[in-house]
Amino acid sequence: MLVKDVMKSPVLTVGPETTLEDAYRFLLEKGIRHLPVVEGERLVGIITDRDIRLATSHLNPQGPCPTCAPVAEVMTRGVVTAHPLDPVEEAARLMRERKIGCLPVLEDGRLVGIVTGIDLLDALLRLTGVTEPSGRLEVRLPDRPGELARLTGFLAGRGVNIHSLLSYPEEEEAVRAVVRVKTMETHLLAEALRREGFQVLWPPKKPW
Amino acid sequence: MVIYREEYRLYNFGPHHPFSPVRLEMLTSLLQALGVWKAPLSPPEATREEVLTVHSERLVKRVEAASRGELFPDLEHYGLGTGDTPVFPGMDRAARILVGGTLEGARRILAGEKRVLQLGGGLHHAQYDRASGFCVYNDLSVAIRHLTGAGLRVAYLDMDVHHGDGVQWIHYEEGEVLTLSLHESGRYLFPGTGHVHEIGRGAGLGKKLNLPLEPFTEDESYLEVFEALVPWALQAFRPDVLVVQAGADAHFLDPLADLLLTTRAYERLFRLILEYAEAYAGGRVLFTLGGGYSLDGTVRVWALLYHIFHGLPLPERLPEGWLRAWEARLGKPLTPTLHDPEGAYPEIPRREEIAKRNRLTLERLTELLAPHLLH
């Protein structure tokens, strides 16, 4: 999954000369939190609802005047950006490390989209496959080559379609695989997997 | 009034599929052996046009073609030809016969009948554009749309252990349809939806209720939340008719899911539903069957439903001859009584915690819905 698959476009922007009040009203009207600031085609900064609220708070009486100060006075310069072909996990890591809420997406220097934390949550939902009717299996696999292939091969052999497959390392040389499968019969699948020697964590074995 | 016809059993995905027509054969033969079976009303099959009131032309075309053995290359995209919902010759007609039964139930209600028991159908996973989870056409939604088309307000109650997603999505923006599904949490179980926060959209906002329950929920906790939620919602919504999907797969013997209801809970639930229908829906109620994949458990749950529906006294033991014949055919022992024996499964150590979480889910649901439902 790439940034271009989750980004929003076209992007709503403001110019650097827009007043803080107008920019804030625009954010409220559109129900958004981030506004890239552009001069012609060029991205020159970014301003958020939080930037404006902090700058104009009554706790900050020396701050800029909302009706006359331009966005350029408060905006962040040197914006961190993404490319449409970046993998989403790279965008997520960048946002996490820099502790920022969005990434304007540039292609050949042109602003083509924007990714926010919310878009990444949508990406997570899609990656986990919960948007499709499916059941869920959790299997603990030994951390060595071929184990995941054994699992998916087994599912393929039973004609079960996999909606999504996540795996993450656990301690003690094991990998947890979370598989969303398009079937009502996850219990029967789990039994069959156990017979094949897989350690199935969910659904559990019923003692009766 | 009971609706049934032998051809319901044409809806058959093959000998190893859990949604087995043997369930109906076993149920009707049990009711006959008990001497309570009365000739049911035989419904006409639904027409193509009737199916199209809730499904897309694209889906219906593909089902019809598959019935003739012609397989569109994009069948999977429509949820067909999968492990859960394989195609079989004649499946279009077989599915329309089931739809016809539930639709006939709706017609009878409109003609003045108070209580209808459709001994089939309940295919609640089928969606507008997609077959899903053993369900080709959504008989419930066709019937519901027929009822709302005649100006009725419909409350749909889904007792199946799986979320009633198809019915919910088809009527998601309709204000005159209340859907209420109690099911095992979709965190693990198919279809994965049915969260508290799915509450409808547009005119349907606040008219879709979901109570996802913890795996291993038992009788007491289920009944506690059911009795708190269902009358509350029905009283607020004031339906003209209650449509009930009486899936039996929340029974503890069910091989596909993890709720632990016994026949004692089902007896109480069926009696309560009839009471609620009297109190909040003018006495009008249409039951269908649904999921239920333990033959032993499912057949006894539905036999209970049949008896309670007719106000018959409950037999204690099942007829010996019937038991012997079916045990021989299935090659395994069956529970010899209508009710489950006491202590049929081992004690669940997390019982209190499970009950507490279910209570919390109920609280979240009522808090979320109250502003929409109570006005």
The SS3 assignment for A47 reads strand
Residue range A77-87: average pLDDT? Answer: 95
- B193-223 pLDDT, tens per residue? 999 999 999 999 999 999 999 999 999 999 9
For residues B301 and A164, what is the distance between their CA atoms, to the nearest angstrom? 35
Same domain, residue pair A116 and A142? no
> Is the pLDDT at A121 greater than 70, yes or no?
yes
Same domain, residue pair A117 and A138? no
- Paired residues of B3 in beta bridges: B41, B118
* Predicted pLDDT at B55: 98
pLDDT band at A90 (very low <50, low <70, confident <90, very high): very high
Same domain, residue pair A62 and A160? no
Q: In this structure, is residue A59 part of a structural domain?
A: yes
Same domain, residue pair A11 and A28? yes
- A122-179 pLDDT, tens per residue? 998 888 877 788 999 999 999 999 999 999 999 999 989 998 999 999 988 999 999 9
Q: In this structure, is residue A208 part of a structural domain?
A: no
CB B185, CB B215: distance < 8 Å: yes
> Is the pLDDT at B188 greater than 90, yes or no?
no
Same domain, residue pair A9 and A102? yes
Tell which B residues from 47 to 66 touch A, by Cβ distance under 8 Å: none
CB B365, CB B196: distance < 8 Å: yes
Q: In this structure, is residue A161 part of a structural domain?
A: yes
Q: In this structure, is residue A140 part of a structural domain?
A: yes
> Does B257 sit within 8 Å of A185, measured CB to CB?
no
How many angstroms away from the CA of A79 is the closest CA of chain B? 36
* CATH classification at residue B65: 3.40.800.20
Which of A103, A124, A145 is a domain's end point?
A124
- β-pairing verdict for B115-118 and B285-288: parallel
> Does B82 sit within 8 Å of A135, measured CB to CB?
no
Q: In this structure, is residue A207 part of a structural domain?
A: no
> Does B257 sit within 8 Å of A187, measured CB to CB?
yes
Residue to mutate among B189, B214, B253, B254, with most A CBs inside 10 A, is: B189
Closest C-alpha to B272, from B219, B235, B308 = B308
Q: Which two tokens stand for residue A86?
A: 């970046």
A183 → closest Cβ in B83, B187, B188: B83
Residue range B250-258: average pLDDT? Answer: 96
Residue B273 to residues A119, B159, B183, B270, Cα–Cα distance (Å): 43, 11, 16, 5
> Does A208 sit within 8 Å of B345, measured CB to CB?
yes
Same domain, residue pair A101 and A43? yes
* Residues counted in chain B: 375
Which residues form the domain of B82?
2-373
> Does A134 sit within 8 Å of B83, measured CB to CB?
no
* CATH classification at residue A155: 3.30.70.260
Residues of B in contact with A161 (CB under 8 A): 76, 82-83
Residue range B245-256: average pLDDT? Answer: 97
* Predicted pLDDT at A87: 92
Residue identified by tokens 């057949």 is B299
| B18–chain A Cβ distance below 8 A for any pair | yes
Which residues form the domain of A153?
132-202
Phi, psi of A19 (to 5 degrees): -75, 160
Q: Note whether ipTM > 0.90 here.
A: no
Residue range B287-297: average pLDDT? Answer: 98
Residues of B in contact with A129 (CB under 8 A): 192
> Is the pLDDT at A41 greater than 70, yes or no?
yes
- B18-71 pLDDT, tens per residue? 999 999 999 999 999 999 999 999 999 999 999 999 999 999 999 999 999 999
How many angstroms away from the CA of B291 is the closest CA of chain A? 11
CB contacts < 8 Å between A and B, how many?
76
Instruction: Give the total number of structural domains in chain B.
Output: 1
| B348–chain A Cβ distance below 8 A for any pair | no
Residues of B in contact with A206 (CB under 8 A): 258
CB B357, CB B214: distance < 8 Å: yes
Q: In this structure, is residue A24 part of a structural domain?
A: yes
pLDDT band at B141 (very low <50, low <70, confident <90, very high): very high
> Is the pLDDT at B375 greater than 70, yes or no?
no
Which of A124, A140, A164 is a domain's end point?
A124
* Predicted pLDDT at B319: 98
Tell which B residues from 249 to 308 touch A, by Cβ distance under 8 Å: 252-253, 255-258
- Paired residues of A114 in beta bridges: A8, A104
CB B99, CB B63: distance < 8 Å: no
Residues of A in contact with B247 (CB under 8 A): none
Query: What is the average pLDDT score of chain B?
Result: 97
Same domain, residue pair A109 and A36? yes
User: Does residue B125 have an active-site annotation?
Assistant: yes
A203 → closest Cβ in B83, B192, B258: B258
* Predicted pLDDT at A205: 85
Give B17's contacts (C-beta < 8 A, 6+ positions apart): B86, B134
Instruction: Give the total number of structural domains in chain A.
Output: 2
Same domain, residue pair A76 and A178? no
For residues B194 and B202, what is the distance between their CA atoms, to the nearest angstrom? 18
> Is the pLDDT at A69 greater than 80, yes or no?
yes
Which of A124, A153, A176 is a domain's end point?
A124
> Does B134 sit within 8 Å of A185, measured CB to CB?
no
* Predicted pLDDT at A129: 76
Query: What is the average pLDDT score of chain A?
Result: 93
CB B163, CB B193: distance < 8 Å: yes
